[in-house]
Copies of this chain bind each other. A is one copy, B any other.
Amino acid sequence: MKVLVTGAAGMIGRKFCQRLARDGAVGGKPVTSLHMIDVVAAGELPGAAFTVTSEAANIADRALAPRLMADRPDLIVHLAAIVSGEAEVDFDKGYAVNLDGTRYIFDAIRAENIMSGGDYRPRVVFSSSIAVFGAPFPDPIPDDFHLTPLTSYGAQKACGEFMLADFTRKGFFDGVGLRFPTICVRPGKPNAAASGFFSNIIREPLVGQKAILPVPETVRHTHATPRAAVNFILHAATIDGEKIGPRRNLSMPGVCVTVGEQIEALRKVAGATAVSLIERKPDEAIIKIVSGWPECFEASRARALGFVAESSFEDIVRAHIADELGGKVGG
Contact = CB atoms under 8 A, between A and B. Distances in A.
Interface stretch (A50-58, A151-159, A195-203): A151-159
Interface string A153-169: 00100110011011001
A194 interface: no
A165 B158 CA distance: 12
A207 interface: no
A252 B271 CA distance: 57
B149 A166 contact: yes
Interface in A32-82: none
A246 B150 CA distance: 8
Contacts of A91: 170
A247 interface: yes
A241 interface: no
Interface stretch (A11-19, A21-29, A140-148, A316-324): A140-148
A152 B247 CA distance: 14
A165 B146 contact: no
Given A91-B170, A134-B246, A246-B134, A162 B146 contact: no
Give this chain's copy count. Answer: 2
A247 B148 contact: yes
A162 B169 CA distance: 21
A162 B170 contact: no
B149 A146 contact: no
Contact of A165 (B149, B162, B169): B149
B169 A150 contact: yes
Contacts of A162: 147, 149, 155, 158-159
Given A155-B166, A162-B155, A162-B158, A147 B146 contact: yes
Contact of A163 (B145, B159, B163): B159
13 contacts: A91-B170, A134-B246, A143-B146, A144-B145, A145-B146, A146-B146, A148-B246, A149-B165, A149-B166, A150-B169, A155-B162, A158-B158, A159-B159
Smallest CB-CB A-B distances: 6 pairs: A155-B166, A155-B162, A159-B159, A144-B146, A146-B146, A158-B162
